[in-house]
């Protein structure tokens, strides 16, 4: 059976959120709040991020906004510069494919139709794709601002393929798995230990699409 795979990028094909987590750790340490715990500071940051949007530029804005909200002293330009430096460390990290990704894509490529489906800021995501060295395995690269049920329904219509022959592969229950299943297509859930907290959710199994949970991306070779 030849399938169409819609494959997520960040934390499915390459490391991503771990670098944001390191920046958040450094930010909370720099803030050094005397009354709020580290978890309480993180909760405030999570709330700010929900309204700011995706990508490293918006992440920087979220850190700055959180610093202004929680700083226990007058905020000076040198403090904001330090926050920007913390956020900038994300860009200093080379793009790192997850274990087995290249080999698995090479295995799937002649057997199935592969489409890279990622969300976020278009230029930033496109640059990651170019740096990854795996663009050759994908028939299309689709970058969307959000992954919702309507996103998957639109793709189903564009692809002109029976929903039973489409699989969404990703690490995010909120963006990759639940909306794909709700749209009636199949989903492969590959958990990542550092999935962004705002992407966590209980997986909602619904009638229609099948759900497969794997330990690693390389495990796709065992099933397809």
The yes-or-no verdict on residue 4 having pLDDT over 80 is yes
* CATH 1.10.150 given to domain 17-88: yes
Give CA separation, 137 vs 15, 107, 132, 190, 204, in Å.
18, 10, 11, 19, 30
Which pTM was predicted? 0.93
Domain residue ranges of the chain, discontinuous segments joined by +: 4-14+96-222, 17-88
Choosing among 3.30.2090.10, 3.40.50.1000, 3.50.30.10, 3.40.50.300, the CATH entry for 4-14+96-222 is: 3.40.50.1000
C-alpha Rg value of the chain to the nearest Å? 19
- pLDDT tens-place string over residues 152-204: 999 999 988 899 999 999 999 999 999 999 999 999 999 999 998 888 889 98
């Amino acid at each position: 059976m030849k399938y169409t795979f819609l494959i997520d990028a960040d934390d499915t094909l390459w490391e991503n959120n771990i670098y944001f987590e390191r920046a958040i750790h450094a930010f909370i340490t720099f803030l050094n709040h005397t009354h709020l715990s580290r978890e309480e500071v993180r909760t405030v940051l999570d709330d700010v991020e929900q309204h700011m949007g995706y990508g490293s530029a918006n992440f920087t804005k979220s850190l700055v906004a959180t610093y202004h909200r929680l700083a226990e002293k007058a905020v000076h330009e040198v403090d904001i510069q330090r926050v920007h430096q913390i956020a900038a460390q994300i860009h200093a990290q080379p793009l790192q494919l997850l274990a087995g990704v290249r080999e698995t894509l090479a295995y799937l490529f002649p057997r199935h139709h592969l489409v890279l489906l990622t969300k976020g800021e278009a230029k930033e995501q496109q640059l990651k794709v170019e740096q990854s060295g795996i663009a050759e395995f994908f028939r299309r690269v689709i970058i969307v601002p959000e992954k919702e049920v309507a996103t998957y329904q639109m793709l189903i219509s564009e692809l002109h393929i029976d929903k039973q022959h489409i699989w969404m592969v990703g690490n995010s229950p909120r963006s990759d798995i639940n909306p794909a299943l709700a749209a009636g297509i199949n989903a492969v859930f590959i958990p990542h230990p550092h999935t962004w907290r705002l992407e966590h959710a209980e997986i909602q199994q619904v009638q229609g699409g099948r759900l497969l949970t794997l330990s690693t991306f390389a495990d796709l070779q065992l099933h397809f």
